[in-house]
């Protein structure tokens, strides 16, 4: 494992959800999908404190309801079971029963209380889970403690994703090394407030559930909640974090002298995963990062950044390598944030294209060439205050249409 240092946070290249002490995982093909792995479990040797954030959709899927109920009762988790292919959303009473049944099977399998099991699903809405296959998964799943099993799990949760998403970092707490690992999946229906994605974060830190919950929310607001692939919010989105306390140190809280290390580490893992999800958006050829500074507030900056990165016209222009900054202005203009059109600068990469309400002369070919890269940065400076924010997305391509015009059929 290679170490990459950044602001007191050491990124661990190649690290996974199994890098923190005391976690095991597994993934297998239970038959929900034609061939790909479709069923996975993360298991903690000790009951872990936990935090979770759920979709803001009013149509919350059955597994989220069951998981929310479990966590609110015990504030602890020891296992997370995930299936892809079928979302178990909009499935009425039967869907709830199926989620409870899955929870029960996993509790039996690991001999732990039912309330220590979180259930997550992703896939097509409105179909019932094939419970025989789910039972097969619950019975046959193995968690041997092999670090490579992380990949089996990570593959099992993917749907239209093309790559696994993973991140890991280490921070020092009371002089001891604490590890935070994460994985996630996209890749369509990705927009605000936990829209369409699953994220799982493990750590061996010692931290109470309420503190972890609050730290997770902070990290998510500037990462997962700032990505958009297509402006959609799913019924199944959830990010769950587990902290099993395998590294003994003074319990973390905001008054702990190393608190900011932990929060920075959690932020890093969440931002890494969020960017990987955006980059792997359905049909995407590149990652788009929009950075807004000089806004009235961080919230305003985040709103404007997300509006730009979510604009279909900006996304198609980036796909086409067309430095059509008018579309950036178009998106900003209807963000809902009060902007002064005469006080704003826009640059694509390092090249200023608009300044103080007036177009700037620039070399179109140079900007177009820059836009061919794997990542395109758009920077907006407002002259209103100290607020800053970032958002991430991807380009809108023929393949997005292709993937989504023939998802099920």
Task: List the catalytic residue out of 67, 196, 233, 268.
Answer: 196
x/- letters, 206..245, toward its own copies (CB under 8 A): ------------------------xxxxxx----------
Contacting range for its own copies; rule: CB under 8 A; set: 5-13, 70-78, 84-92, 245-253: 84-92
Instruction: Decide if residue 361 touches its own copies (CB under 8 A).
Output: no
Tell me whether residue 397 is one of the annotated catalytic residues. Answer: no
Instruction: Decide if residue 84 touches its own copies (CB under 8 A).
Output: no
* Total residues at interface with its own copies (CB under 8 A): 72
Distance CA 281, CA 55 (A): 18
Nearer to its own copies, 251 or 407 (CB): 407
Instruction: Decide if residue 2 touches its own copies (CB under 8 A).
Output: no
Instruction: Decide if residue 407 touches its own copies (CB under 8 A).
Output: yes
Provide the minimum distance between the beta carbon of 195 and its own copies in the complex, in angstroms, as a whole number.
7
Q: Are 248 and 212 in contact (CB under 8 A)?
A: no
Distance CA 355, CA 403 (A): 38
Distance CA 298, CA 303 (A): 9
Q: Taking the CB of residue 253, how many other CB atoms lie within 10 A of it?
A: 14
x/- letters, 107..146, toward its own copies (CB under 8 A): -----------------xxxx-------------------
Provide the minimum distance between the beta carbon of 403 and its own copies in the complex, in angstroms, as a whole number.
8
Distance CA 131, CA 272 (A): 34
Nearer to its own copies, 68 or 193 (CB): 193
For residues 248-307, which are near its own copies according to CB under 8 A? none
Nearer to its own copies, 223 or 235 (CB): 235
Nearer to its own copies, 203 or 228 (CB): 228
* E strand or H helix at 67: helix 62-74
As given in the structure block, the two tokens for residue 50 are: 């936990």
Provide the minimum distance between the beta carbon of 353 and its own copies in the complex, in angstroms, as a whole number.
8
56 three-class SS: coil
Crossing angle of the two packed helices 131-140 and 92-110, in degrees rounded to 10: 20
For residues 366-385, which are near its own copies according to CB under 8 A? 368
For residues 297-356, which are near its own copies according to CB under 8 A? 311-313, 316-317, 319-322, 324-327, 329-334, 338-342, 354, 356
Pick the closest to residue 160 from 195, 126, 122, 201 (CA basis).
122
Burial class (CB in 10 A: 0-12, 13-18, 19+), 288: buried
Instruction: Decide if residue 8 touches its own copies (CB under 8 A).
Output: no
Distance CA 216, CA 84 (A): 24
Provide the minimum distance between the beta carbon of 12 and its own copies in the complex, in angstroms, as a whole number.
35
For residues 171-190, which are near its own copies according to CB under 8 A? 188-189
For residues 41-70, which are near its own copies according to CB under 8 A? 55-60
Nearer to its own copies, 47 or 186 (CB): 186
Instruction: Decide if residue 71 touches its own copies (CB under 8 A).
Output: no
Torsion of CA 317, 321, 325, 326, to 10 degrees: -40
Distance CA 277, CA 228 (A): 9
Provide the minimum distance between the beta carbon of 8 and its own copies in the complex, in angstroms, as a whole number.
36
Transcribe 195-256 into DSSP letters.
TT-EEEEEE-----HHHHHHHHHHHHHTTGGGB-SSS---SS-EEEEEE---S--SPP-TTS
Instruction: Decide if residue 359 touches its own copies (CB under 8 A).
Output: yes
Distance CA 356, CA 239 (A): 41
Q: Taking the CB of residue 10, how many other CB atoms lie within 10 A of it?
A: 19
Catalytic residues: 196
């Amino acid at each position: 494992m290679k170490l990459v240092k950044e602001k007191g946070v050491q990124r661990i290249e190649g690290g996974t959800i199994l890098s923190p002490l005391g976690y095991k995982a597994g993934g297998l093909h239970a038959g929900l999908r034609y061939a790909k792995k479709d069923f996975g479990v993360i298991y903690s040797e000790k009951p872990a404190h936990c935090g979770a954030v759920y979709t803001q959709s009013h149509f919350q899927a059955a597994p989220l309801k069951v998981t929310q109920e479990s966590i609110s009762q015990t504030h602890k988790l020891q296992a997370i079971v995930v299936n892809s292919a079928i979302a178990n959303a909009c499935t009425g009473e039967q869907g709830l029963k199926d989620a409870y049944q899955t929870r029960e099977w996993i509790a039996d399998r690991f001999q732990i209380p039912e309330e220590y099991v979180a259930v997550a699903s992703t896939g097509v809405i409105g179909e019932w889970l094939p419970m025989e296959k789910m039972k097969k998964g619950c019975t046959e799943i193995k968690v041997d403690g092999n670090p490579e099993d992380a990949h089996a799990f990570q593959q099992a949760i993917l749907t239209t994703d093309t790559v696994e998403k993973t991140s890991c970092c280490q921070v020092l707490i009371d002089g001891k090394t604490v590890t935070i690992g994460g994985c996630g999946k996209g890749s369509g229906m990705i927009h605000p407030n936990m829209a369409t994605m699953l994220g799982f974060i493990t750590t061996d830190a010692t931290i109470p559930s309420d503190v972890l919950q609050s730290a997770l929310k902070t990290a998510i607001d500037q990462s997962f909640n700032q990505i958009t692939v297509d402006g959609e919010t799913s019924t199944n989105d959830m990010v769950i974090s587990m902290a099993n306390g395998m590294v003994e140190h003074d319990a973390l809280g905001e008054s702990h002298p190393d608190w900011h290390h932990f929060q920075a580490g959690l932020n890093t893992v969440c931002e890494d995963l969020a960017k990987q999800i955006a980059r792997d958006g359905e049909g995407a050829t590149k990652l788009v990062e929009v950075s807004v500074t000089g806004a009235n507030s961080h919230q305003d900056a985040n709103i404007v950044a997300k509006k730009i990165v979510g604009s279909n016209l900006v996304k198609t222009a980036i796909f086409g390598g067309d430095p059509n900054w008018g579309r950036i202005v178009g998106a900003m203009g209807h963000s809902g944030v009060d902007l002064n059109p005469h006080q704003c600068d826009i640059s694509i990469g390092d090249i200023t294209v608009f300044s103080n309400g007036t177009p700037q002369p620039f070399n179109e070919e140079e900007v177009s060439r820059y836009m061919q890269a794997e990542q395109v940065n758009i920077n907006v400076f407002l002259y209103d205050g100290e607020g800053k924010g970032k958002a991430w997305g991807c380009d809108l391509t023929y393949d997005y249409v292709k993937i989504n015009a023939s998802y099920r059929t």
